[in-house]
Every structure is written in structure tokens, then in C-alpha cells.
Amino acid sequence: MTHTLIGRRVAVLDKGFIELLDLMPHPAAAVSGDLAIVNAARVSFLGESKGDTQDKKLLFYLLRHRHTSPFEMVEFKFRVRAPLVTFWQWVRHRTWNLNLQSGRYTEFEENDFYVPEIWRRQSASNKQASEGEIATADSAALTDSLLKHYDASYALYEQALAAGVSREMARLFLPGFATYYTAVLKVDAHNLMHFLHLRLAKEAQHEIRVYAAAIYEHFFRPALPWTAEAFEQYILGAAE
């Protein structure tokens, strides 16, 4: 139920999470998110709800014909903990508002590094993608090497701090793309659907696709059930 969404936290990857901090309209408001979209569309001629059947029909019409501005009237605010390899792709969606943890202000912990469950092979047909898995024996050896690399990197980081090196420079010793950061992010429903369309695709990198899936299943669909249904039909399904 929508009133339980705010404060909900979902675990992602090995140490990450995504938490809904706020939602507009608030779940306690008299108007649901889907109805807020419909009402925003009807303001063009000063109308409001005409009942569920007509309201849902209008919402589907809006998305089918890409009348997207009413979907900007709903906003989601999240707290996200993810490795930098995920944020590196996330920030390409410049329609998100983002404030990221700073290693200049806070020290990193020894366990703040991403350890993948599997090692994926390079795709033979897609230069930027992966497919399949590395053999189990090789995978175990790779994970062991990665953990040793993290231990050595963190030891150098601590050594630099102990020597009086500033936090902003000591972090140079850390394994950049693997380091977990926490961020607060905000986005409207229209731009969130664009993000989901791209990052739920099978071609998207696993480390961001799992966050997109968590957002969709645990937050977007419960908050906007009509919009989610239309999104699946007209955008994910590419049906007209």
C-alpha cells in the first residue's frame, strides 16, 4: 500500500540499498499519484477526476501519445547506496537531482567495496556489454585476488590518513569504481520512466539494472499502478 512506501528500504547488490525518502503527492494526500497526473492534464480545461474508468483511460492516452508533462507532477526522492560503477552510469541521466557523499568530509570504512557474486565474460558481439560467466574455478581465484587488492588499497588509505594526508588525497589509494557511496536523488515520474526504459533493458549493465528493477518493483509500480501498467504496455512493450 502506498502509505507504507516512504521509509521502505530494499537491499541491492552485496552492500547497497535504495530507500524512498519522500513522494509527491504524499501517500497520505487525498489525491493519488496517478490522479495527480490526470488532474494536471485536465487543468488545461479546468477539469478534475471523472471516476476511475475515465481517469485511467485518459492516463493511458497521455502515455500512448507521449503527452509527458503531466507525469512531471509526481516526484520521487531516494537515498541510494551503490558502488561508483553504478553512479558513473546513473549521472548520465542529467534529469535527476543528485547530492553525493563526499570522501573529503567522511572517511571510508574497510568494507565499503563492491564484491560481485559472479564474473561475467566480455560479449563477443557488443563492445560495451557482458554475457555469460567465467568458469567457477577462475571466478573464485578472481574474487580472492579482488579481496586482496581491496585489503591492500585500504591499508594504504589508512596509512596515508595516519601520516596526516588529507582525506581528499588519501582516497586516491582506494579502488575507485568499486567504492560504495551514498547519495540522495530526486526525479519526476516522466524522467524516471525514461531511466527505467533504458536501465531495465537486458543490454544495461547488471550493476545499474538491479537498481532500476528495485525502483520499479518496490516503489514506482506500487505508487503509480495505472502509470506502471501503461508504461509496460506502451514503452516497455513498445505497443501502440
- The 3-state DSSP class for residue 25 equals coil
Question: Can you read off the three cell numbers belonging to residue 229?
Answer: 501498467
Q: What pTM did the predictor assign?
A: 0.92
**Region 185-209: what's the mean pLDDT?**
96
User: 15: closest CA among 72, 90, 86, 74?
Assistant: 86
Give the contacts of 115 (CB within 8 A, at least 6 positions apart).
14, 143, 146, 147
Give tens-digit pLDDT for 201-214.
988 999 999 999 99
Known catalytic membership, residue 199: yes
Catalytic residue among 9, 64, 167, 199: 199
Q: How confident is the model at residue 51 (pLDDT cuts 50, 70, 90)?
A: confident
Give tens-digit pLDDT for 2-48.
568 999 999 999 999 999 999 999 988 878 999 999 999 988 554 57
Give the contacts of 77 (CB within 8 A, at least 6 positions apart).
20, 21, 22, 23, 184, 185, 186
